[in-house]
Amino acid sequence: MIADQPKKSQNNYLSEYKFYTAGKWRSSHEAIDVVFPYENSIIAKVFLAQPTDVEAAISSAVKAFEITKKFSSFERSEILKKVACALKQNKENIAKILTLENGKPVKDARLEVDRAILTLTIAKEEAMRISGEVLPVDIIASTKGRFAVVKRFPIGPVAGITPFNFPLNLVCHKVAAAIAAGNPIIIRPATKTPLCALELAKIFEGITLNDKSLPEGIFSVLPCKTGVAEPLITDERIKLLTFTGSADVGWQLKNKAGKKRVTLELGGNAALIVHDDADVELAASRTSIAGFALAGQSCISVQRIYAHEKVFDEFAKKLAAKVKALVIGDPLNDKTDVASMVDVQNAQRVEQWVQLAVKEGGKLLFGGKKDKNVVSIYLPTILANVPETSNVCAKEVFGPIVVVQKYKDFKDAVKKVNNSVYGLQAGVFTKDIDKIMYAFNELDVGGVMINEVPTYRVDNQPYGGVKNSGFGREGPKYVIEEMTELKVMIVNVREP
């Protein structure tokens, strides 16, 4: 259903934003406009960092590391606790800013703020659980009387590059883990959505530890052009690069990164299997949310659905009915389920892909067009019987589209899911424990969701994928492992 259209020219201008580097707010001769996608209206101006600012951020991070690496577990935890509390106090304001810069419904923006608070809280707790081990090394006669202590140490300055679709929580995943591990971090946010990262910098600026300000350089936020950000990838003083974004860009960055560690959380075209014994009502209900929330702009948004031939018609009918009931329109309306895409160009791209899929033989079951009034909204769309080579199946749509296909044999459905260059997450609806275990063992993905959609994610899970979906895992505990170095000390205990 289409929500009432808002009055244009709402007073949503948020003013100018300087960038934050080396503990200072700075401006430059260059700035960009941040646009509210739903109205295509300017909401803020953000100054862009220049090469000298990037150098200042890296240099100050190196200096800050001399302090942060000596922080106790309690001190690291205390910083994150204070950031989480400040974010919670400012929740409604941050949620509105998130909606304005990203275009997602405000109720989803509030949920993202809640998740960011949880991410910080999880990292706060993990900061006090970074453990090592005592290792017996007296395994041969010549090592008698010796033992080893293994401990994790902070790796050094970290650079994080984040995407537009979760402009707060994905920043917090990188920042929280870095601080928990004892590392300074520099964030380069997506230029379309830099405001939440800058708001987070405001929070960090106000945090004290032992009645003192945090060290300059512990956290910098640098909206900047791609070329200007190059040192974050190539400079050897940066010890780890963590990137979330498209596969093409991610692999290019890895090739440039040299000797530093790299973690990549890239794209996907998430698949769902609905077997003949599934709870079809539940599967359709969860898919109607997971395929179209955030206008499908999530790397684990449901895209490919394989429904058993016995339940295909029932599932498709129920799904279409539930999608029809979604409220589409103004993201600042609390009732809205689906709003605009991040820009008009992406809505046009999705429209072209759907038209191509139909031309290639696919059947349009629902939707298949842009909104009449808002050109950045592409209406939720359901396709069926689309060739596996079509863009909407083979590539990452990153839009409000799902494709439903029939299958007869469960193992064949698993093969179809695996027939992809991506491997992030997959979902399976079935009550058969043998099929559940088969799917868990055979699906070539980083996460398998049983009786749940592949879009499901909890912020403490090891989250990441295989193949073109990247490598390494997010989730504070697992990122902390990447952001620390193991060091061993062997002790020779002489007998008295």
Buried b (16+ CB within 10 A) or exposed e, 226-257: eebbebbbebeebbbbbbbbbbebbeebbeeb
The token pair that represents 357 in the structure block = 């899929």
Q: What is the distance between the alpha carbons of residues 249 and 243, in angstroms, rounded to a whole number? A: 9
Cα separations in angstroms, 424 against 448, 463, 475? 9, 8, 14
* Residues 38 and 1: beta-carbon distance below 8 Å: no
Catalytic annotation present for 236: no
Residue 177: left if φ>0, alpha if ψ -120 to 50, beta else—which one?
alpha
Rg (CA), the chain: 24
Greatest pairwise CA separation for the chain in angstroms: 87
Q: Which of 172, 196, 299, 393 is catalytic?
A: 299
> Is there a catalytic annotation at residue 265?
yes
Catalytic-labelled residue, pool 101, 199, 265, 396? 265
The angle at the Cα of 415, spanning 414 to 421, to the nearest 5 degrees, equals 110
The answer to whether the beta carbons of residues 137 and 130 sit under 8 Å apart is no
Residues 6+ apart with CB under 8 A from 463: 265, 446, 447, 457, 473, 474, 475
> CA-to-CA distance for 287 and 322, rounded, in angstroms?
9
- Pair 244, 43: CB distance under 8 Å: no
Pairing of strands 212-213, 208-209: antiparallel
- Three-class SS of 188-239: ECCCCCCHHHHHHHHHHHCCEECCEECCCCCEEECCCCCCCCHHHHHCCCCC
Catalytic residue list: 265, 299
